[in-house]
Homo-oligomer: A and B are copies of this chain.
Amino acid sequence: MADELHGRRGGGRAARQAARAHAHGASVPFLTRTMAPFEVLGEEGLSLIERNADLILQEVGCEFRGDPEALRLLREAGADVDGERVRFPLGLARSLVQATAPASFVQHARNPARSVTIGGPHTVLAPNYGSPFVRDLEGGRRYATLEDFQNFVKLAYASPHLHHSGGTVCEPTDVPVNKRHLDMVYAHLRYSDKPFMGSVTAAERAADTVEMARIVFGAEFVDGNAVVTSLINASSPLVWDASMLGALRTYAAANQATIVTPFILAGAMAPVTVAGVCAQTLAEAMAGIALTQLVRPGVPAILGSFASSMSMQSGAPTFGTPEPALVLYVMAALARRLGVPFRSGGSLTASKVEDAQAAYESAATLQPTILAGTHFVLHAAGWLEGGLTIGYEKFVMDADQCGMMGVFVNGVDLSENGQAMDAIRENPPGQHYLGSAHTLANFETAFYRSEIADNNSYEQWLEEGELDARARASRVWRRMLAEYEAPPIDPGVDEALLEFVARRKASMPDALV
């Protein structure tokens, strides 16, 4: 614990103001945690799971399907390749990762003030990903459209508590599957200036993403810097499929970051036990990250973990339960020991609506996410119904919680002002502090202020129409969209992007996959 991180004893008035702004949820490009991560296992337990992961890769191995180039790279690196089954001599995958994968990297945003550092004591919060449905209080649940996609990009841009524009925030189902990625990447680049994620559904869509990034950032800059971070999911157990491998290799070759993520519904894609899920997740992730380093040594890669428990009754994924929280803490520790950034968590729930279930479950995921020291947080805002739906109200409710996390991780202000000893000395027993000079000087920034919570008296709340949290949230996102102003963009760049999108769309017929 570095106490000097907490003390803000000098630096004058401007430094104090900046510290205060930071302490109280003002917009920062990413969070910087001042406390060590929470640990649920010690050295012995963690090394046991590491050993098991190495054994899994040695004895069972992974299948790398439909990608001869991946097999060639792995064979040349010393793996035992039998058809598409790849077994790693004990410790090989780990050593391939540790040899060159960076512990931390910067993902550049088109607005340099919004570039994010992924790794170390930092946390980057990104919105929901992948929902085919959208929900709002008035319209209910319906298929998501490109307009919804653009709306969520705008909301993530407008939120001071989200640091990243995300990727497939929702599926724009009104656009053909093989052309969606062009509209999505364009929306991220046009309606936000926060960093974003690229397409992964096919190698050529990943290539389109890189091309569009080159238009904005310049080809040389892209070759030397991460400007896209994209989500590569395993087909667990122990399979990497052709489309994900194609996208992974495309991004890695272009020096762009990937989040290599085993997606585990425990009991289906892995054993039902926490230690089993963790060993298999680590094995799969190390195999995938090793491949990124073989494609281009030193390319940034994030170890991702997505694990949910399961309903005994229906086999449906369940969220906010203690077992995935344990997995999250263990995986964060394993990623730290491996030496790569970690992605997990978010505001996950199985609830269909923005009720108490949704909030309990989301909090039971987001708190461990933050306390584990997660570096990149997908699904930090908006998730409903096991990810099938993104909610407008849920989005701003979750973003509010993200704001609180941002204040929390700044820790305790131990400056003279924070200690408040003069105020205590001047205040006789039994005399309240409401009028004290210290209170008046600090009141405005002393506490996180939620836009969603109602703290008024019961009587006032009754008078104001007995609104619940979702009704208040509905007003918040509508106001945010109404007040949205697009960040500036060079008209030439915008034109080049639009031209690229139009050209690529015209080059192929609409397709359903």
CB within 8 Å of B: which residues of A? Answer: 1-4, 6-7, 34-36, 38-45, 48-49, 52, 55-56, 59-63, 85, 141, 235, 237-239, 266-276, 278-280, 309-318, 320-323, 325-326, 330, 350-364, 367, 371, 385-386, 388-389, 397, 401, 404-405, 407-408, 411-414, 417-421, 423-425, 427-434, 436, 438-439, 442-444, 446-450, 452-458, 460-461, 466, 468-470, 473
Q: Return 10 A-B CB contacts under 8 Å, by A number.
A: A62-B429, A268-B434, A276-B423, A279-B421, A318-B450, A318-B455, A322-B405, A350-B455, A352-B466, A360-B469
Report yes or no: B359 in contact with A412, Cβ–Cβ below 8 A.
Answer: no
- In the bound complex, residues from chain B placing their C-beta under 8 Å from that of A312 are 443-444, 447, 449
Assembled-state Cα–Cα distance A452/B358 (Å): 11
Report yes or no: A317 in contact with B455, Cβ–Cβ below 8 A.
Answer: yes
Q: CB within 8 A of A48: which of B44, B237, B419, B446?
A: B419
- 14 A-B pairs besides A2-B42, A272-B443 with CB distance below 8 A are A62-B429, A267-B434, A269-B433, A313-B455, A314-B455, A314-B457, A322-B448, A326-B411, A326-B412, A352-B466, A353-B466, A356-B468, A360-B401, A367-B367
- In the bound complex, residues from chain B placing their C-beta under 8 Å from that of A351 are 453-454, 469
Assembled-state Cα–Cα distance A141/B359 (Å): 23
Query: How distant is A312 from chain B, measured CB to nearest CB, in Å?
Result: 6
- In the bound complex, residues from chain B placing their C-beta under 8 Å from that of A431 are 237
A280-B424 in contact given A1-B42, A60-B429, A407-B322 (Cβ < 8 Å):
yes
Report yes or no: B456 in contact with A316, Cβ–Cβ below 8 A.
Answer: yes
- Closest B residue to A371 by beta carbon equals B38
Query: How distant is A18 from chain B, measured CB to nearest CB, in Å?
Result: 17
Assembled-state Cα–Cα distance A4/B48 (Å): 12
- In the bound complex, residues from chain B placing their C-beta under 8 Å from that of A276 are 418-421, 423-424, 438
Report yes or no: B363 in contact with A360, Cβ–Cβ below 8 A.
Answer: yes
- Closest B residue to A1 by beta carbon equals B42
A357-B453 in contact given A421-B55, A430-B238, A447-B310 (Cβ < 8 Å):
yes
- In the bound complex, residues from chain B placing their C-beta under 8 Å from that of A280 are 424
- In the bound complex, residues from chain B placing their C-beta under 8 Å from that of A469 are 351, 355-358, 360
Copy total for this chain: 2
A267-B35 in contact given A360-B397, A453-B351 (Cβ < 8 Å):
no
Report yes or no: B446 in contact with A309, Cβ–Cβ below 8 A.
Answer: yes
- In the bound complex, residues from chain B placing their C-beta under 8 Å from that of A40 are 34-35, 411-412
Report yes or no: A6 in contact with B45, Cβ–Cβ below 8 A.
Answer: yes
Among A61, A278, A320, residue most surrounded by chain B Cβ atoms (within 10 Å) = A320
Report yes or no: A41 in contact with B6, Cβ–Cβ below 8 A.
Answer: yes
A452-B357 in contact given A1-B39, A267-B434, A423-B271 (Cβ < 8 Å):
yes
- In the bound complex, residues from chain B placing their C-beta under 8 Å from that of A428 are 60
- In the bound complex, residues from chain B placing their C-beta under 8 Å from that of A355 are 355-356, 359, 468-470
Q: CB within 8 A of A359: which of B44, B309, B363, B432?
A: B363
A430-B325 in contact given A357-B452, A469-B351 (Cβ < 8 Å):
no
Assembled-state Cα–Cα distance A443/B247 (Å): 35
- In the bound complex, residues from chain B placing their C-beta under 8 Å from that of A461 are 352
Q: CB within 8 A of A271: which of B352, B371, B439?
A: B439
Q: CB within 8 A of A447: which of B41, B43, B272, B359?
A: B272
Assembled-state Cα–Cα distance A449/B405 (Å): 28
A458-B367 in contact given A356-B469, A404-B322, A425-B59 (Cβ < 8 Å):
no
- In the bound complex, residues from chain B placing their C-beta under 8 Å from that of A423 are 271, 276
- In the bound complex, residues from chain B placing their C-beta under 8 Å from that of A439 are 267, 271-272
Report yes or no: B60 in contact with A425, Cβ–Cβ below 8 A.
Answer: yes
- In the bound complex, residues from chain B placing their C-beta under 8 Å from that of A317 are 455
Among A417, A434, A473, residue most surrounded by chain B Cβ atoms (within 10 Å) = A434
Report yes or no: A446 in contact with B323, Cβ–Cβ below 8 A.
Answer: yes
- In the bound complex, residues from chain B placing their C-beta under 8 Å from that of A55 are 421
Query: How distant is A204 from chain B, measured CB to nearest CB, in Å?
Result: 25
Assembled-state Cα–Cα distance A358/B79 (Å): 53
- Closest B residue to A55 by beta carbon equals B421
A61-B237 in contact given A272-B439, A469-B351 (Cβ < 8 Å):
no
- Closest B residue to A323 by beta carbon equals B447
Query: How distant is A287 from chain B, measured CB to nearest CB, in Å?
Result: 11
Query: How distant is A125 from chain B, measured CB to nearest CB, in Å?
Result: 15
Assembled-state Cα–Cα distance A357/B325 (Å): 22
Report yes or no: A470 in contact with B323, Cβ–Cβ below 8 A.
Answer: no
- Closest B residue to A456 by beta carbon equals B314
